[in-house]
Amino acid sequence: MILVGGTLGLCALALVGRALDLQVINNDFYRAQGDQRILREIAIPTSRGMITDRNGEPLAVSTPVESVWGNPQELLKHPGQIPLLARALDVPVDELTRKLSQRADKEFVYLKRRINPLQARAILAHDIPGVFSQREYRRFYPQGDAVAHVLGFTNIDDRGQEGLELAFDDWLRGTPGAKRVIRDSRGRFVENVELIEAARPGHDLVLSIDRRIQYLAHRELRNALTRTGASAGSAVVLDIATGEVLAMTNLPSYNPNAIGVRDADAYRNRAVTDVVEPGSTMKPITVAAALSAGVVTPGTLIDVSPGYMSLGRYTISDFRNYGVQTVTGLITKSSNLGAVKLSERLPDEYFYEFIRGFGYGQAPGSGFPGETPGVLAHPEDWSGSSKATISYGYGLSATPLQIAMAYAALGNGGRLIAPTFVKGQRNEAEQVLDPAVAAQVMRMMQTVTEDGGTATQAAILGYHVAGKTGTARKYNDTGGYSRRYVSFFAGVVPVENPRFSMAVVIDDPDPSTGYYGGMVSGPVFKNVMEGALRLMDVAPDDIETWLAVQAAEDAKRLKANNGKPGHGPVLPTPIPVAAGAGALVPAVSTAGGAQ
């Protein structure tokens, strides 16, 4: 009995010692095992930075939402609750059962993501074991499709996928935090233990875009497509002095708040990714090259009769025989032959480098994802007609942004500035043209929007407008040019103190409604710039014309009122209701892609 009792006593002492060792002295293992069952380290979600326009108006904001998730292991222990959960989630029972069964060895699965917090609370109110919710953020775009191509969108995990959301994803995306919590036997979080790392929200981004001008450009472009039956279009507005992009819009567009089936045709930003042969918008660059080389002056006479010429197996023609024209007249009338004859006086390498200096054939440097450099072949790769066709806008390709850049350089005293989408960012200017020559070209382009020019519908009352139309035939799949067109207008306003550069490109207008650049794209420029000039308080530089028009209207009103004064002069409508509100005048046109 003593032996048995002593043995049992030693065993009991050993058990007490072992218990003391496990629970007091060396308790790390079992403490860790217990913690694993009640402690959890969870992420603290953080919001993405807000994107605003240059005036602080929100363009992209992140709003708190809830995501409902479940523990498949726990849910599968209560199969009778699955039909109730399916009804609460508004999903088929078999689909939910299959989803849980496929993840039976997991402890986490999303059941419904990024929903209204009220909806999440309604689901949790059923008190189904293994169902929880967590805070997330969802991106909203108040301006909808008007700014879609500039902003892009984020995916379900709030990561940038397109546009500036992608380009500035690292800047906008915050850093999630982490905390340790205690959960009860049903998996519910009941207490915060400690903060491991605080969440850091993303940085805000202030764009150069002006929401008001963006809306104007989007509206007028849509009006133009409706009026002309065109398939697509782009418009870009730049601040000449800074290179800031004030507006950039494309059609067709999409709603970034309702991303559905991917449509590559609607999702891409045509203004920076799609290239077109720029047509007669190249002629001011050709004239600038000739002036800069000293081979002509604005008053030099060029004989372009009889209105056509042979070049190898091709025939280059104008709309009609313009006879003898000054270099200024070549731009006013948009003569293809005139551009060709100017290019013949220039060395190949010089002409190539001059065009490249204006940004053609190289990426604009805006930092926008997917921007393309366009196509400008080196003289070594030119054929016998390449130089001639390049002089009036064929045989090279460019994006609408590149065209707007080139015209901004003409308006900026020959200084080329890489465009930027960030307010206040200043890219270094490069002097690509003598300021005196740039001023001469601006005066020449001013004649395009005056009486006798090809773009009188782009004229703005009270302001001198310098611009150039373009109408380029589209290249087809069979290796030739079709009878479908791309219509252009690129311009600068006001001439005296240039503030804005704008390029309008409208793809494939219905030929039965007219396809010339002055008729199709010119009114878009006029209506957008007329509104932008007033919104930005840009002083008029053509008061004389405005006063003359007002005097004529006053006289007409006086006559209609039988000599009574009436109500006085009426100011021009600041923002026209529809595109194409100007007077309809015949547009001078040339075959083969000139105006």
Residues 457-491 as b or e (16 or more Cβ within 10 Å = b): bbbbbbbbbbbbbbbbbebeeeeebeebbbbbbbb
State the pLDDT at residue 547: 86
**Angstrom distances, CA of residue 493 to CA of 235, 247, 366:** 15, 15, 22
Mean pLDDT of all residues in 369-397: 93
Q: What is the pLDDT of residues 115-155, one digit of tens each?
A: 888 988 898 888 888 888 888 888 999 999 999 999 999 98
State the pLDDT at residue 103: 86
Dist. CA 80–CA 82, nearest whole Å = 6
Three-state secondary structure readout of 385-408: CHHHHHHCCCCCEECHHHHHHHHH
Tell me: pLDDT of 264 over 70: no
State the pLDDT at residue 576: 41
Dist. CA 436–CA 438, nearest whole Å = 5
Dist. CA 350–CA 516, nearest whole Å = 31
Mean pLDDT of all residues in 502-514: 93
Dist. CA 98–CA 96, nearest whole Å = 5
**How distant is the alpha carbon of residue 320 from its chain centre?**
39
Mean pLDDT of all residues in 159-173: 93
Mean pLDDT of all residues in 338-363: 95
99 Cβ neighbours under 8 A, 6+ residues apart: 109
Binning pLDDT at 50, 70 and 90, where does residue 585 land? very low
Query: How many CA atoms are closer than 13 Å to the CA of 311, on its beta-carbon side?
Result: 17
**Cα–Cα–Cα angle for 30, 36, 42, nearest 5°?**
150
The 8-class DSSP code of residue 161 comes to -
Per DSSP, the residues of 484-513 read EEEEEEEEEE-SSS--EEEEEEEES--GGG
State the pLDDT at residue 526: 96
Per DSSP, the residues of 174-191 read -B-EEEEEEE-TTS-EEE
One-letter amino acid identity for 214? Q
For 429, phi and psi rounded to 5 degrees?
A: -85, 145
The mean-pLDDT minimum among 108-122, 396-410, 477-491 falls in: 477-491
The 8-class DSSP code of residue 255 comes to -
- Residue of 47, 133, 280, 521 with catalytic role: 280
**How distant is the alpha carbon of residue 147 from its chain centre?**
7
Six-digit token string for 317: 């023609």
Six-digit token string for 392: 């009036």
Mean pLDDT of all residues in 164-179: 87
State the pLDDT at residue 178: 74
With CA atoms as reference, report the closest residue to 290 among 434, 419, 161: 434
Dist. CA 529–CA 11, nearest whole Å = 97
Judging by beta carbons within 10 Å of its beta carbon (0-12, 13-18, 19+), is residue 178 exposed, middle or buried? middle
With CA atoms as reference, report the closest residue to 75 among 62, 88, 65: 88
Tell me: pLDDT of 453 over 60: yes
Dist. CA 244–CA 425, nearest whole Å = 8
One-letter amino acid identity for 525? F
Domains of the chain: 47-206 (3.90.1310.10), 211-593 (3.40.710.10)
Residues 395-414 as b or e (16 or more Cβ within 10 Å = b): bbbbbbbbbbbbbbbbbbbb
Question: Which pTM was predicted?
Answer: 0.82
State the pLDDT at residue 508: 93
Mean pLDDT of all residues in 89-94: 90
CB 141 within 8 A of CB 256: yes
Tell me: pLDDT of 391 over 90: yes
Judging by beta carbons within 10 Å of its beta carbon (0-12, 13-18, 19+), is residue 5 exposed, middle or buried? exposed
The mean-pLDDT minimum among 38-42, 362-366, 448-452 falls in: 38-42
Is 383 one of the annotated active-site residues of the chain? no
Binning pLDDT at 50, 70 and 90, where does residue 586 land? very low
State the pLDDT at residue 310: 86
> Tokens 């700014």 label which residue?
147
Binning pLDDT at 50, 70 and 90, where does residue 327 land? very high
Pick the residue with more confidence: 351 or 70?
A: 351
Tell me: pLDDT of 578 over 50: no
| Strands in 161-261 per DSSP E | 177-183, 189-197, 205-206, 232-239, 245-251
State the pLDDT at residue 590: 34
Q: What is the pLDDT of residues 267-305, one digit of tens each?
A: 889 999 999 999 999 999 999 999 999 999 999 999 999
State the pLDDT at residue 30: 67
Tell me: pLDDT of 46 over 60: yes
The 8-class DSSP code of residue 573 comes to P
State the pLDDT at residue 45: 74
- Residue 493 pairs with which residues in a beta bridge? 500
Pick the residue with more confidence: 24 or 507?
A: 507
Q: Is 292 helix (H, G, I), strand (E, B) or coil?
A: helix
State the pLDDT at residue 64: 87
State the pLDDT at residue 445: 96
Mean pLDDT of all residues in 321-339: 94
Q: What percentage of residues in the chain have a pLDDT greater than 90? A: 57
Six-digit token string for 40: 């959890």
Q: What percentage of residues in the chain have a pLDDT greater than 70? A: 87
The average confidence (pLDDT) of the chain is 87
CB 358 within 8 A of CB 406: yes
> Tokens 């904001």 label which residue?
61
Tell me: pLDDT of 567 over 60: no
